[in-house]
Amino acid sequence: MRKALLAGTAVLGVLGYAGAVQADVFVNATIDKVKTVNVNETINVDKFVNIDAFVDNNALKAAESLALVNQRNEDNEACTNCAEKQDIINDSFNTNSGLVTWNQAAGNMNNQANAISASVDNFVPGDGDDGGDPESEPTGFAEAQASAEQINGDRDGEGGANTVDSVNILFRDARLIASGNGNSGVLFLNQSAGNMNNQVNELSLAVAFADEGVALSEADLGQWTTGNFVGESDGSVPGGDPAGDGINKAATINGSLNGNAGVIGVNQSVGNLANQGNVFSLAGVQPVNGG
């Protein structure tokens, strides 16, 4: 446009017209822009571990322990509106000795487990003991195995997906307050205010009391979360205030799990479709004659 006006001025000058030519040009433009972004992300992780252990031990004593847990959440649906929930443990499970386990769930379709297996092969005086000959001292073998499998969703490709569709949840809280303190031994806790969570604490223990021996310990944990749908909304129900109340969740541990001795396993979730596991395996051979 500006080039055209300048060219016209030059032509007028050539033709002998006097005076200058000026013009103001205003341009209004409307721009419509459409942007479409498609993101497809596929992550495949395959891990295979094979361990072969060969033990050559003519053991006079043996102890073996096995703990096994399988948990599945498949083909479930949670459709909620204003479904406020609270899990609160306050001033509880303190100063205990031995085995302490508890499960607490205010949510839906949660699998929770505490599995403990123990085996002890005790020493009996005189069993292979001739007063100090190393070749006749009691020998032992201890083996502990712990295995857990947790599946959330369509693990086998047979349509087992889970669906969570929630709106307007003012609070969903899991709180551990001044609890689980000063214990000795084994302390296991599962707490869930969410939906379709798998939680497990597992212990396998094997001990053989012998001066000579072999100890084997194995732990295995498999977790799958696949093919699920979570449609939790930060807005209100359809037709309501667009700002809405949203989804508000809190998982808190306050003044808890202090001053303990032994094995402590804790799982806490206010979410959805979580796999949580603590798997512990221990095998040992304890000398009895100072060996």
Rounded percentage of the chain residues whose pLDDT exceeds 90: 34
* Structural contact between residues 74 and 151, judged by C-beta atoms closer than 8 angstroms: yes
Instruction: Tell me how crowded residue 54 is: count the other CB atoms within 10 A of its CB.
Output: 4
Q: What is the pTM of this model?
A: 0.72
Length of the chain: 291
Q: Among 8-17, 170-179, 206-215, name the one with the lowest average pLDDT.
A: 8-17
Residue range 193-247, pLDDT digits in tens:
989 999 999 999 999 888 888 888 888 888 888 888 888 876 544 555 555 567 8
The dihedral over CA atoms of 206, 208, 214, 215, expressed in degrees to the nearest 10, equals 20
